[in-house]
Amino acid sequence: MTTGENPREILVVAHVRREDTVIAARRVIAALLDAGARPVLPAEDGELRAAIGQVNGSAASIAALGVEVPVDRIELAIVLGGDGTILRAAELVRGGTAPILGINMGHVGFLAEIEADVIDDAMRRVIDRDYEVEERMTLAVEVIDADGTAIYDTWALNEATVEKAARERMMEVVMEIDGRPLSSFGCDGVVVSTPTGSTAYNFSAGGPVIWPTVEAIAVVPLSAHALFARPLVVGPEATVAIEVLARTDGTGILWCDGRRSHELPPGARVVARRSPEPVRLARLHPALFTDRLVRKFQLPVAGWRGPDTGGTA
């Protein structure tokens, strides 16, 4: 860094409730300070700031996102935690261009790039800007009331889920693709998922796993009382709408990534389409998605012989 040049500003997001994560966050911040970079923490993370304390004898050089450093100045977000913490980081950097580097401190950590035991090597790569950036499609989600007025809009990296609000009742919906009705049924809800979210709620609901290189949207009814309510895969430019029928007894609720929600009165309409703003993931080790599936889900592959190379026996 030359004299007078603004320092590189790198966001650090960590799950404060775990001591090992706080210790790892201190290592990350120390490496950034040693390299002349400026660590940034979410402004509302006072508990994390207090838990980290002073690093290299200084707490003043750790900035606050949105207070001292706007999101569009963030070069990279380093996330220590599981997939939920990564989803929170994606929310924090929305509106900027910073990629997210996930360091798994949780269980599956499907979105994470590396495990905690290689933090030091990862920080050397970060300082050298030695990583690739992979873009993941997201969904733009809008709620329209029965009068046709847009009353809420948000986005999702994993999925937008229309769910019943009352456990004891089904909700009645009609599903629409590209402006045409497809089927109506009673159900517990409907999941509209990106390829990134295909290994999350979509996966648990019996939907298909979609490779990240396949741009598509999955639509999966939850416990549908219908003859035709199978999981669907539609094109990335399709518009998916779920209408809560006016005769539904009670309200529904929209959840996006399990983080943002909005109540759905009878007659409400949820519209999901591709967002022009992707989420960017930093990748240190290019790897086949097949290998990630096997590793994260501990899939049995014993007995695999490999492809036929054409050699003689």
What pLDDT sits at residue 309? 62
AA letter at 256: C
Give a yes or no: residue 114 inside a domain: yes
Check whether residue 65 and residue 112 sit in a common domain: yes
Average pLDDT, stretch 153-169? Answer: 93
Which of 104, 136, 168 is the endpoint of a domain?
136
pLDDT in tens, 130-159: 999 999 999 999 999 999 999 999 999 999
**Token pair for residue 42?**
């979410």
Q: 253 and 184, same structural domain?
A: yes
126 shares a domain with 192: no
**Residue 17 to residues 21, 25, 31, 167, 200, Cα–Cα distance (Å):** 8, 12, 22, 30, 23
pLDDT for residue 15: 82
Confidence band for 54, pLDDT divided at 50, 70 and 90? low
Q: Indicate the range of 23-32, 118-127, 165-174 predicted with least confidence.
A: 165-174
Cβ atoms 137, 195 nearer than 8 A: yes
Please write the tens of the pLDDT for every residue from 204-250: 999 999 999 999 999 999 999 988 889 999 999 999 999 999 876 77
CATH code, domain carrying 230: 2.60.200.30
State the CATH number of the domain containing residue 42. 3.40.50.10330
Select the highest-mean-pLDDT range: 3-12, 54-63, 89-98. 89-98
Q: Is the pLDDT of residue 42 over 60?
A: yes
pLDDT at 51 over 50: yes
Total of domains in the chain: 2
In the predicted model, is pLDDT for residue 169 greater than 90? Answer: no
Q: How confident is the model at residue 116 (pLDDT cuts 50, 70, 90)?
A: confident
181 in a structural domain: yes
The pLDDT > 90 percentage for the chain reads 72
Do residues 145 and 265 touch, judged by C-beta distance below 8 A?
A: yes
Q: What is the pLDDT of residue 106?
A: 67
- CB-side neighbour CA atoms (13 Å) of 14: 26
Three-state SS sequence of the chain: CCCCCCCCEEEEEECCCCHHHHHHHHHHHHHHHHCCCEEEEECCCHHHHHHHCCECCECCCCEEECCCECHHHCCEEEEEECHHHHHHHHHHCCCCCCCEEEEECCCCCCCCCEEHHHHHHHHHHHHCCCCEEEEECCEEEEEECCCCCEEEEEEECCEEEEEECCCCCCEEEEEEECCEEEEEEEECEEEEECCHHHHCHHHHCCCCCCCCCCCCEEEEEECCECCCCCCEEECCCCCEEEEECCCCCCCEEEEECCCEEEEECCCCEEEEEECCCCEEEEECCCCCHHHHHHHHHCCCCCCCCCCCCCCCC
Averaged pLDDT for residues 177-183: 96
Q: What is the mean pLDDT of residues 7-20?
A: 89
Neighbours of 149 (CB within 10 A): 8
Q: Is residue 294 part of a domain?
A: no
Range of the domain at 125: 9-136
What are the residue numbers of the active site? 83
> Are 31 and 97 within one domain?
yes
